[in-house]
Amino acid sequence: MLAPASLSAAPFAAYVMDARNGQPIYSQNANTPLHPASLTKMMTLYMAFTAIERGQVRLDSLFTVSSNAAAEPPSKLGLRAGQKIELRYLIRAAAIKSANDAATTIGEGLAGSEAAFAQQMTQMARALGMRNTQFRNANGLTTQGHYSTAQDMSILGRRLFYDFPQYYNLFSRRSADAGIAKVSSTNKRFLDAYKGADGIKTGYTRAAGFNLTASAQRGNKRLIATVFGGTSTAQRNQLMAQLLDAGFSRVRDRVSEVRPQPPRYLAKKVVRRAQVQPSTAATRPQPQRLVLSASEKPARRSAVPVSDPVQIAEAVRQAAAAQPAADGNELLLASSIRPNRRPVAEGDAVEEAIASAVASTEAAPRQSASLAAGLLSESSRPAPAPRSRGTQTASLVASAEKGQDPEAIARAVAAAVPKQGDAMSLMASEAPKPRSDSVILAAMGEGDRSEPEPLEIVSRASDGSRNWGVSLGLYRSRDEADQLLIRSALQDGAVLGNAQRNIANTIRGFEPKFVNLDKAGAQLVCERFRTRSQDCKVIGP
């Protein structure tokens, strides 16, 4: 929202709300953007408390004072450039004395620069429901584009009361130790003059006038009100007292308390498209076809057909006649081409061949001194059937060398070789079919080349499912807080589940907490504790 052209067009604004449920009671120019002055420090302190609770910083964390912070105009604590000071002292100076140099040091220490911190303050304002607020600095000095409204500052005051009750007592202190000096409250007059007042913050610049956000309680009633544009401190305080008195008379004594919900941080929606780099194989239009060139078939060797026993016998005779016996008893075969192997013959076929050779010898007395007869007389048992053509051929050659009749050997071979059409005949089997010479290679890596669906990445709100917890109040000693946590864990172990015990060391005391809960679990735990009159507060992320 843009600020109006002239912020002095509506110099006065007021807003009163019931702090218990946030309902408005009185409103005058409540949504008109005006200069908030030092009421800005309420948001600076809210950001500091948030950082402490999240564990980003500690109360004893040292912040370095920049030259920019040291040069801020009054009101100021008197910090020097390069000085290091604990965060707790900066918070006291900003909340009680409204020191500009302390507020600037807080902003620069948390965000790195005052401009970055102001941007974070504006984002937090939107998350808290402050719709007409924009920040440009951490201290509230008049700057173009820096504005807020009476209603938004009342919302922020209610948030400080409910979200950080452990730090809220700062706004009711009349004085405090700020490390390098003792500071006094700028709101001391109103706190002392109005019954039930316990905060919150004053503000003044020449352009803004005298501003004040106040909180007061009477009985069960609590009101929060904001005034912009007072003409003096006294007039502003008197007007605030009148607004609060009228508000207390109008609201009911008992109403249902509606606590503010945890801040709903804005989530940015980021949509990204997945980038797919196509591979070389995936971009090819069609599978590649590779055809191998066919080689010539090997030529057949000329050999005697194994299936023709007559030709085998003739070859044996020619080999035997080529070399006469040296002593008349042995036949020497001349070197000849080794015959091809034949299939393994069955044992019965070999025995029949030997029997046939013996019968032939007996039928022809003239061949009694044949090589086969001598072989049979020397062996008591026929030799086992040869396992291949090579072994049978070697046997025939050995028989011929011993002087046996070649014709008898031929007949034996003819009987042993299977006839045409036998299952073991090589010539009877068909030649195998030639294999295809074509080889098809599919393109590897081919996939879906369609447009990929967009990848949507949406960042969620920061209130994670397990970032909730419960606070059980404040105690003077750590032992007392620890005993409460242990006793509660023993009594309500089933409800607490995997909750973790934690003790925070705050300014007001030791705060026992159960953390690592979801939202529903934290609410259930608090309901159980409240039934036993135990203080309990749900802590959001």
Say what the alpha-carbon torsion angle 41, 165, 125, 104 is, to the nearest 10 degrees: 30
**Residue-range domains of the chain with CATH:** 7-250 (3.40.710.10), 309-416 (no CATH), 468-539 (3.30.70.1070)
Place of tokens 């002239």: 6
- Based on the residue annotation, tell me whether 38 is a catalytic residue of this protein: yes
Give the range among 357-361, 402-406, 418-422, 457-461 with minimum mean pLDDT. Answer: 457-461
pLDDT at 138: 97
Place of tokens 């090819």: 284
Rounded to whole angstroms, how far apart are CA atoms 142 and 204?
10
3-state secondary structure of 36: coil
pLDDT at 362: 52
* Residue 341 pLDDT grade (very low, low, confident, very high; cuts 50, 70, 90): low
Rounded to whole angstroms, how far apart are CA atoms 227 and 13?
6
Place of tokens 């294999």: 435
Under 8 Å CB-to-CB from 249, ≥6 apart: which residues? none
Query: How many Cα atoms occupy the beta-carbon half-sphere of 156 within 13 Å?
Result: 30
Q: How many helices (H) and strands (E) does the chain have?
A: 17, 17
pLDDT at 409: 62
pLDDT at 317: 73
* Residue 46 pLDDT grade (very low, low, confident, very high; cuts 50, 70, 90): very high
* Residue 495 pLDDT grade (very low, low, confident, very high; cuts 50, 70, 90): confident
**Catalytic residue chosen out of the listed positions 75, 98, 154, 307:** 98
pLDDT at 390: 46
- Whose CA is closest to 261, among 165, 122, 163, 164? 163
Rounded to whole angstroms, how far apart are CA atoms 337 and 333?
11
> Where does residue 119 rank: exposed (0-12), middle (13-18), buried (19+ CB within 10 A)?
middle
**Catalytic residue chosen out of the listed positions 38, 154, 185, 307:** 38
pLDDT above 90: residue 179? yes
Tokens standing for 178? 């700020």
Give the range among 32-46, 182-196, 240-254, 458-472 with minimum mean pLDDT. Answer: 458-472
- Whose CA is closest to 401, among 323, 472, 301? 323
Identity (one letter) of the amino acid at 89?
Y
**Catalytic residue chosen out of the listed positions 41, 97, 201, 513:** 41
Instruction: Please state the rounded mean pLDDT for residues 257-268.
Output: 76
Instruction: Please state the rounded mean pLDDT for residues 432-452.
Output: 51
